[in-house]
Amino acid sequence: MTTKPQPWILTASCPSRLGTVDVVTRFLAETRNYVLEIQSFDDRALDRFCIRVEFRPERDGFSADDFNEAFAERAAEFDMSWELTAPDHRPRVAILVSKYDHCLNDLLYRYRTGQLNIEIPVIISNHPDLESLAQWHGIPYYHLPITADTKPQQEAEVWKLINQYEAELVVLARYMQVLSPDLCSKLDGWAINIHHSLLPGFKGAKPYHQAWEKGVKLVGATAHYVNNDLDEGPIITQGIQSVNHVHYPEDLIEKGQDIERVTLSKAIRYHIEKRVFLHGQRTVVFAD
C-alpha cells in the first residue's frame, strides 16, 4: 500500500554518562549512514539512557555484521547494549487466544494487509473455537486444552511451540489464563498482554463488571509486558472509551472491544518498530 522507504533502526541503552549520544551519532556519521530521525531520553530517576535512530546507509554494500562488529568496540566502553533492525525484518509473533476473537481478528487483518509488518507462524489456544479463522489465513493452529491438573504440561507444550516456531514476540490476545510464574519468567520482556481496564485499576477478573459496580464514566484497556506480577507488568500503552449509565456490564464488554484491539495492535507496532525500552517497572516509549 505504501512506497515509504523503510529505514534501518538502531536502538541502544546504557547507564547515564556524558557522551552516550555522541558515541552513537558519531559512529553513524563516520560509517556514512544518513540519520532520518532520532529520539533520545536520559532518565534522571533511573540514571538510564536510551536512543532510537532511524537511518539509511549512504553507500552500497551496507552489512549488518560489519556494523555490529565495528560498533561493539565503542559500545563496550559505555556498557551499552544495542540492536540493529533491518528494514525488511518481519518479526515472528506467536499469538495465544482463548474464545474471544476481536483482538485476533484485528491482528490477522493487519498482518494480512501488511499494516503490521510481522509474520504469524503459529496461533495457540486452550479452545478450538478460532481454528477456522486461523485456517483462512493459512496459519497453524494448536488447540491445547488446559485444566488445573494439566497446566504444567500444557504450558510446557506452549513453550515448546513458541520455540519450535522461533517466535520473537508472544502476544496474549485475550488469552484467558493466568500464566504460571515459570512461564512468566521465561516470557519476561518479550510477551505482550492486553488487559481490559486502565491498570492498575480493576486488576484481576471481570474488570468491566468491577467498573460498572463503581459507576465509572470511562473504561479502558492496557497493553503491557508480561512479568511475574499478574496484571502489573510494565505498561506500553493505554486507551479509553467513554461510557454512561445506560451501559450495563455486557455493554461495557462489547464497547471495550474496539479499544482493546486498537490498544493491543498499537503496542505491538511500538514493540516491533523498536520504540519501547524496558527499564524495570517502567517503559520509555518513543511514540510517533
**Judged by CB under 8 A, which stretch of 81-89, 120-128, 168-176, 211-219 contacts a second copy?**
211-219
Instruction: Report how many residues bind a second copy under the rule CB under 8 A.
Output: 72
Which 242-261 residues touch a second copy, going by CB under 8 A? 244-248, 250-251, 253-254, 257-258
Which position among 231, 251, 258, 288 bears the catalytic label? 231
Strands 33-43 and 235-242: unpaired
Q: Of 77, 164, 214, 229, which lies in the binding site for a second copy, with binding defined by CB under 8 A? A: 214
Minimum CB–partner distance for residue 91 and a second copy (Å): 18
Touching a second copy, residues 93-112 (CB under 8 A): 101-102, 105, 109
Neighbours of 35 (CB within 10 A): 15
Considering the rule CB under 8 A, would residue 229 count as an interface residue with a second copy?
no
Cβ proximity to a second copy: between 36 and 153 the closer is 36
Please, what is the minimum distance in Å from the beta carbon of residue 210 to a second copy? 9
- Check binding of 73 to a second copy (CB under 8 A): no
Cis peptide before 200 (omega within 30 of 0): yes
DSSP H stretches of helix in the chain: 20-30, 64-77, 102-112, 131-136, 151-164, 181-187, 207-214, 249-272
**Is 15 an interacting residue with respect to a second copy (CB under 8 A)?**
no
Q: Please answer whether residues 64 and 86 qualify as being in contact, where contact means their C-beta atoms are separated by less than 8 angstroms.
A: yes
Tell me the per-residue interface mask from 170 to 209 with a second copy, x by CB under 8 A, - otherwise. ----------------------------xxxxx-------
Q: 3-state class of 246 per DSSP?
A: coil
**Residue 234 within binding range of a second copy, rule CB under 8 A:** yes
Using CB under 8 A as the binding rule, whether residue 18 contacts a second copy is answered as: yes
Residues 37-56 within binding reach of a second copy (CB under 8 A): 37-45, 51
For residue 190, which of 233, 225, 160, 166 has the smallest C-alpha distance?
225
Beta strand 191-195 pairing with 169-172: parallel
Under the binding rule (CB under 8 A), the answer on residue 72 touching a second copy is: no
148 contributes a contact to a second copy by CB under 8 A:
no
Binding to a second copy by residue 131, rule CB under 8 A? no
Q: Which stretch binds a second copy (CB under 8 A): 89-97, 141-149, 173-181, 278-286?
A: 278-286
- In Å, what is the CA distance from 287 to each residue of 48, 110, 113, 169, 263? 18, 19, 22, 19, 13
Q: Does 238 bind a second copy (CB under 8 A)?
A: yes
Annotated active-site residue 149? The verdict is: no
Q: If we measure between CA atoms, which residue out of 65, 86, 71, 58 comes closest to residue 26?
A: 71
Q: By C-alpha distance, which of 170, 281, 164 is closest to 234?
A: 281
CA–CA gap between residue 80 and residue 64 (Å, rounded):
17
Helices 249-272 & 102-112, crossing angle to 10 degrees? 30
Catalytic residue numbers read: 231
